[in-house]
Amino acid sequence: MPFKRLLTTLVEAVPGASGAILADWEGEAVEQFTHGDPFEIKVTAAHWGIMLAQLKDVHQKHDAGSIRESVISTDEQHVIVGSIGDDYALVMTLARNALPLLALRKFRETAQLLHKEIY
């Protein structure tokens, strides 16, 4: 499966992107690509994966459809986290000066490709 290639292409296609990781429903890394600390991206995926699961639970109560992804901006970075089917999450980290809408477009393209590979 070309997970590493897809994650590398995603990060390289977005100026300011620092990493991307595909994690399973338990927050365990399936594959990753990062310009930083590999352990740090794994911890990031585990935490943001939990947040995605909580958002899904809250969102189901409001009958507004399924959550595809979320963009979270902090003082230090942007994070995009999204579902790949019911069992996987894709997490991407970006510098604060990155363009989140460009990143979101590339993130969605990669999410579709990952979905095709997995399912």
Taking only the tens place, the pLDDT of each residue in 25-66 is 888 899 999 999 999 999 988 888 788 878 777 777 777 777
- The per-residue pLDDT for 1 is 59
Residues 6+ apart with CB under 8 A from 91: 20, 21, 23, 41, 44, 45, 48, 49, 79, 80, 81
Is it the case that residue 79 has pLDDT exceeding 90?
Answer: yes
Segment holding 45, helix H or strand E: helix 38-60
Distance CA 115, CA 112 (A): 5
Distance CA 16, CA 94 (A): 6
Q: Pick the closest to residue 83 from 61, 66, 99 (CA basis).
A: 66
Q: How many CB atoms lie within 10 A of CB 107?
A: 26
What does the block give as tokens for 71? 């963009």
Which of these ranges, 17-21, 26-30, 54-58, 78-82, has the smallest mean pLDDT? Answer: 54-58
- What backbone phi and psi angles, to 5 degrees, belong to 110? -65, -40
112 and 84 Cβ atoms separated by less than 8 Å: no
pTM attached to this predicted model = 0.91
Distance CA 37, CA 34 (A): 7
